[in-house]
Amino acid sequence: MKKVIVKFLAFVFMFHLTFDNKLSAGEKIEGSSISVPGAFHLLLPSNGQVWRKRRDITLRWEAAPGADHYQVKLFKNEAGTELLKTLDADTAKTIEFQINEYSGKQIWWTVTASANNGNGEKKQDAEEKRSLSFYNWNDPAPPVIPKMKVSLTLKPVTNVSYKLEGYLSKRIDKSIQHYFLETPEANPAMLQVMRDRDRLPARNLVPWAGEFAGKYLTGAELVWRLTNEPALKQTIDTFVRDLIQCQDADGYLGPFPENMHLTARNTWDVWGHYHCMLGLMLYYEDTHYEPALKACEKVGDLLFETFGPGGPTMTCDSLGGQMNMAVSHGLLLLYEKTGVTRYLDLANYIINEAWNEPRAGKYLVSVLEGKSIVEFPRHRWEAIHDWQALGELYRLTGNNQYRTAVEKIYRYGVDGDRHNTGGITAGEGFTGSPYHDGAIETCCTVAWTAFSTDILKITGNSKVADEIE
């Protein structure tokens, strides 16, 4: 019996000793139990994050055991010796604060938890201090239009008129009369899906529903350049203004409801914005209509604050980003017209980082390793527009790796997938065989013609002109 009592007392003693050793989360002072906050960690944003959004930021942290109050401390330096501000979160484990005064700056933040049961107060700092930087949306320095490092070998002519005759002229006239002039009225849903994007019940849209308006405008503007048809010009003018009216205040110019903007799975939402940008920039080049360029800038700004380092993936189109990442081409064209470096920054991120994500196409890395198009992880026809970005980067930087890559891709495409009809790809993708009997979609050939035109302007190679013809 004595042995049992001794063992029991030993157990009680050890339990009491263990409990006392855990007083970092509940310390006894002078016989009174005061709840002292235990260890806890910061959650979001992650350390070193650059906040690119124009809205206020929310900070989050774990609950500290025993805590009943939290304060957020913002510091000017990593050591935490220069306090900028203290924010009272009360009992919440999150706090939102305004970012305006921190634009273009770097700060460090942490949280102090405290507990008070009436007998005294104890405080506990979070286990870490985190760095947080803010993109400078208020930079007073005016943007500078970039000077291209490489000039085009063949430049488009300006101030020229064309007189078309014969079969081609008749085909173009019929396209104007029965497609370009009629489509805005015959297919009002092209813009209506943007106007009532938030209506209920939501529309059951195809993933590429946002591309139609931009593709229509691109085609119409290019045909107008060729014909100077007055009725077509009037139709385009009206369509551009109607399209711009569909844009949300934050820059969104697509057909999907608010909870699906840009990042929803299995939508080609960014792809649709890319095509709207292309059409609007072509219109701006011919008219200098500032609202058209401003609409593109608003799209670019929205994309910049949505994607980038630490942001969501652009592979949400469910096909490795082949569609959504094509906007890198549009961003570079926009940078060339505005000099706003954030568009260049996002394009570089897409090409040098997003392209190399696990589910993406790895185009630049693959072609420089000597792989053909069909050996790229992704090789649908939509990637042609991604590749157009390489030509623009070559002209902007003078870096020959971009020219090497774009010329190799072009040659692989001609040798492996250009049919004797002039069409490109089969079954909407590159197959490596010009004899594949899959359907040749018009979209593929139009995209390849645009890509080939870029190659022609860069190289001046007459064989490329033969291929276009």
pLDDT at 18: 44
Q: How far apart are the first and last CA of the chain?
A: 105
The answer to whether the Cα torsion of 247, 253, 256, 258 is positive or negative is negative
Q: Is the bond leading into 45 cis (omega within 30 degrees of zero)?
A: yes
**Structure tokens, 273:** 């914005």
pLDDT at 35: 55
Q: How far apart are CA 210 and CA 231, in angstroms?
A: 26
Q: For residue range 324-344, list pLDDT tens digits in order.
A: 999 999 999 999 999 999 999
Q: How far apart are CA 258 and CA 217, in angstroms?
A: 25
**CA 222 from centroid of its chain's CA atoms:** 27
Q: For residue range 187-215, list pLDDT tens digits in order.
A: 999 999 999 999 999 999 999 999 999 99
CA Rg value for the chain: 30
Q: Grade residue 17 by pLDDT with cuts at 50, 70 and 90.
A: very low
The three-point CA angle 409-407-322 to 5° equals: 35
| Mean of pLDDT values over 102-125 | 91
Q: Any idea which fold 166-468 has?
A: Glycosyltransferase (1.50.10)
Q: For residue range 145-184, list pLDDT tens digits in order.
A: 999 999 999 998 888 888 889 999 999 999 999 999 999 9
pLDDT at 14: 47
- Does the pLDDT at position 359 exceed 90? yes
Between the alpha carbon of residue 350 and those of residues 211, 328, 355, the distances in Å are 20, 6, 6
Indicate the pTM of the whole model: 0.89
The ranges of the chain annotated as CATH 2.60.40.10 are 42-134
- Does the pLDDT at position 40 exceed 50? yes
**Structure tokens, 397:** 């930087």
| Residue the block writes with tokens 């924010």 | 87
| Mean of pLDDT values over 246-267 | 96
Between the alpha carbon of residue 181 and those of residues 172, 177, 238, the distances in Å are 12, 6, 11
Q: Grade residue 410 by pLDDT with cuts at 50, 70 and 90.
A: very high
Q: How far apart are CA 152 and CA 148, in angstroms?
A: 9
| Mean of pLDDT values over 222-238 | 97
The interaxial angle of helices 383-397 and 400-417, nearest 10 deg, is 150
- Does the pLDDT at position 22 exceed 80? no
> What class does CATH assign to 42-134?
mainly beta
The ranges of the chain annotated as CATH 1.50.10.10 are 166-468
